[in-house]
A and B are shown apart, each in its own frame.
Chain A
Amino acid sequence: KAGVTQTPRYLIKTRGQQVTLSCSPISGHRSVSWYQQTPGQGLQFLFEYFSETQRNKGNFPGRFSGRQFSNSRSEMNVSTLELGDSALYLCASSFDGADQPQHFGDGTRLSIL
Chain B
Amino acid sequence: AQRVTQPEKLLSVFKGAPVELKCNYSYSGSPELFWYVQYSRQRLQLLLRHISRESIKGFTADLNKGETSFHLKKPFAQEEDSAMYYCALSELGDMRFGAGTRLTVKP
Which residues in A have some Cβ–Cβ distance to B below 8 Å?
A: 3, 31, 33, 35, 42-45, 48, 50, 55-56, 58, 90, 92, 97-99, 101-106
Contact = CB atoms under 8 A, between A and B. Distances in A.
B90 A99 contact: yes
A90 B44 contact: yes
Given A42-B99, A43-B86, A99-B32, A104 B43 contact: yes
A98 B45 contact: no
Contacts of A105: 43
Interface string B16-51: 000000000000000010100000000111100100
Kindly state the interface size class of chain B when it binds its partner. 10 to 19
B95 interface: yes
Contacts of B98: 42
24 contacts: A33-B93, A35-B95, A35-B97, A43-B100, A45-B95, A45-B97, A56-B92, A56-B93, A56-B94, A92-B44, A98-B95, A99-B90, A99-B92, A99-B93, A99-B95, A101-B34, A101-B46, A102-B46, A103-B45, A104-B43, A104-B44, A104-B45, A105-B43, A106-B43
A16 to B, nearest CB: 30
Interface in B32-81: 32, 34, 43-46, 49
Contact of A101 (B49, B93, B94, B99): B49
Interface in B78-107: 86, 90-100
Nearest to A57: B94
A48 B91 CA distance: 12
**Interface-centre pick from B44, B46, B97 (highest chain A CB count, 10 A):** B44
